[in-house]
C-alpha cells in the first residue's frame, strides 16, 4: 500500500518488479510488441550524446567495454522472472545506455538462447561498436537487431549524434555493412529525423546510398515524442515525415515506414492505471523529471519514459526545461 494525498493505492501488482535491478517491463513497444527489457549498462553510458535523446544528455560518454555488473546477478533476475512463463513477443536488450558496451553481452545472449528457446531475442543498439568483429559475433544469435543511422555525412553525424571524438560515421556504416554480411536474422534500421539537419535533399541522398550498402530488411523513420536532450530539437510534422519517406523510398531497395505511435500499455492493464494515477497525483503537486519519478516510484526509467511519452502526446502533461533537466507537470 502507498498513500498519495488522500488516496491509498494497492501497488503490489505494479511494484512486483521493484526487486529487479536489470529488468524492466514487460512494456508494449511500438516496434516489438510485448517486450521484457534487460538493461546491461549503468544509466547513460553511451558512445553518443544524441541531441534528441528522451532520457537526456549522456553523462558517461565512453567506447570502452566493461562487464559493469556480475553476470550472475543479471541471469538470476531473468531466471526469477521467467519462472512465470510470461507471454512475451521479445526479450530485448535495451535501456538508458548502449547495451553492446557490456563485455558480457555474448555470454548473456548464449545463455538466453540456450535456456529460453521459445522466446525471441532483440537488440536495440546505436551500432557504433559493430566495427568490432567480436561485438558482431556476440549478437549473431539474436532474432532481430535494431541499429540506428541518423546521418551518413560527417557533418550530420556530428550535429545529431555528437559522438566520442575518435568515432567516425564511415566506421559506423562499414560496421553495419559487415554485420549484414555475417548476420542471418532481421535488421530494422532506425533513422531519427531532426528537422533541418538530416531532412535535406543532400542528407537523404547520402542516407540512401548508405542504406543500399547496408541492406537492412526495413528502414524505420522516427521523430521526437517528447522533449529531447536539447531544447531546439522539435517534433516533425506528419507532412515532413511523409516527404522524407517518399524521397527515401525512391532511392533505396528496401521498404521504408514511419514508426506509428501507439498508446502505452503495460503487460497488465491494472498496473498501467495505477501508474498513471500515481503520476497524476505526483505531478499535480510537484513538477518532476523522469529521473525523479523513476527514483521516487522505484520503477525503471524506460517504463516511466514510455508513460510520459504517451501522456505528453495526449497533452495531459507539459514539459519545462530547467538547469537540472526537463520537468513534467500535470496540465489540470
pLDDT, one tens digit per residue, over 81-132 is 999 899 999 999 998 899 999 999 999 999 999 999 999 999 999 999 999 9
Does residue 118 share a domain with residue 96?
yes
Contact in structure between 260 and 237 (CB atoms under 8 Å): no
Which CATH number covers residue 1? 1.10.10.10
The tens digit of pLDDT for each residue in 297-330 reads 767 777 787 788 778 878 888 888 777 778 888 9
**Per the domain annotation, does 44 fall within a domain?**
yes
CA 26 – CA 302 distance, rounded (Å): 11
Which CATH number covers residue 250? 3.20.20.70
Residue 295 confidence (pLDDT) above 50: yes
**Per the domain annotation, does 166 fall within a domain?**
yes
Does residue 147 share a domain with residue 62?
yes
Non-local CB neighbours of 223 within 8 Å, separated by 6+ positions: 192, 193, 235, 236, 241
Non-local CB neighbours of 291 within 8 Å, separated by 6+ positions: 56, 301, 325
Does residue 246 share a domain with residue 125?
yes
The tens digit of pLDDT for each residue in 216-240 reads 999 999 998 777 788 888 888 888 9
Residue 11 confidence (pLDDT) above 80: no
Q: Check residues 296 and 173 and name the one with the higher pLDDT.
A: 173
Decide: helix, strand or coil at residue 228.
Answer: coil
Q: How confident is the model at residue 154 (pLDDT cuts 50, 70, 90)?
A: very high
The tens digit of pLDDT for each residue in 29-58 reads 778 888 999 999 998 899 999 999 877 788
Residue 125 grid coordinates: 543498439
Of the residues 243, 260, 277, which one is the last residue of a structural domain?
260
Does residue 273 share a domain with residue 174?
no
Does residue 102 share a domain with residue 160?
yes
What would the mean pLDDT of 202-218 be, rounded to a whole number? 97
**Per the domain annotation, does 116 fall within a domain?**
yes
Helices (H), 37-88: 71-82
Of the residues 260, 285, 311, which one is the last residue of a structural domain?
260
Helices (H), the chain: 71-82, 105-115, 133-138, 154-161, 169-182, 201-214, 238-251, 269-285, 290-297, 301-313
Does residue 277 share a domain with residue 229?
no
Q: Check residues 274 and 218 and name the one with the higher pLDDT.
A: 218
Contact in structure between 46 and 39 (CB atoms under 8 Å): no
Domain that holds residue 152: 31-260
Residue with cell 508494449: 28
Of the residues 236, 260, 284, which one is the last residue of a structural domain?
260
Q: What percent of the chain has pLDDT over 70?
A: 89
Amino acid at each position: 500500500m502507498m498513500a498519495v494525498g488522500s488516496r491509498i493505492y494497492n501497488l503490489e501488482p505494479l511494484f512486483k518488479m521493484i526487486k529487479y535491478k536489470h529488468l524492466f517491463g514487460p512494456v508494449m513497444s511500438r516496434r516489438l510488441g510485448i517486450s521484457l527489457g534487460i538493461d546491461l549498462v549503468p544509466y547513460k553510458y553511451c558512445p553518443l550524446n544524441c541531441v534528441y535523446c528522451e532520457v537526456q544528455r549522456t553523462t558517461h560518454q565512453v567506447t570502452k567495454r566493461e562487464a559493469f555488473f556480475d553476470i550472475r546477478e543479471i541471469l538470476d533476475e531473468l531466471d526469477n522472472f521467467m519462472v512465470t512463463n510470461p507471454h512475451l513477443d521479445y526479450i530485448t536488450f535495451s535501456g538508458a545506455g548502449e547495451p553492446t558496451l557490456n563485455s558480457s553481452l555474448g555470454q548473456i545472449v548464449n545463455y538466453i538462447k540456450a535456456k529460453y528457446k521459445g522466446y525471441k531475442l532483440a537488440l536495440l543498439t546505436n551500432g557504433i561498436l559493430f566495427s568490432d568483429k567480436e561485438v558482431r559475433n556476440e549478437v549473431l544469435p539474436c532474432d532481430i537487431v535494431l541499429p540506428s543511422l541518423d546521418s551518413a555525412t560527417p557533418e550530420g553525424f556530428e550535429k545529431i549524434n555528437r559522438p566520442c571524438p575518435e568515432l567516425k560515421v564511415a566506421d559506423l556504416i562499414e560496421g553495419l555493412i559487415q554485420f549484414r554480411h555475417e548476420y542471418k536474422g532481421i535488421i530494422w534500421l532506425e533513422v531519427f529525423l531532426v528537422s533541418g539537419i538530416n531532412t535535406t535533399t543532400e542528407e537523404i541522398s547520402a542516407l540512401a546510398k548508405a542504406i543500399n550498402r547496408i541492406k537492412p530488411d526495413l528502414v524505420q523513420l522516427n521523430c521526437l515524442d517528447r522533449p529531447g536532450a536539447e531544447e531546439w530539437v522539435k517534433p516533425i510534422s506528419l507532412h515532413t515525415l511523409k516527404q522524407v519517406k517518399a524521397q527515401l523510398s525512391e532511392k533505396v531497395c528496401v521498404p521504408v515506414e514511419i514508426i506509428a505511435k501507439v498508446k502505452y500499455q503495460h503487460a497488465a492493464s491494472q498496473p498501467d492505471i495505477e501508474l498513471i494515477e500515481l503520476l497524476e497525483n505526483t505531478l499535480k503537486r510537484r513538477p518532476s523529471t523522469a529521473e525523479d519519478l523513476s527514483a521516487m516510484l522505484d520503477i525503471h526509467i524506460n517504463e516511466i519514459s514510455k508513460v510520459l511519452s504517451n501522456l505528453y502526446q495526449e497533452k495531459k502533461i507539459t514539459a519545462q526545461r530547467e538547469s537540472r533537466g526537463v520537468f513534467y507537470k500535470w496540465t489540470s
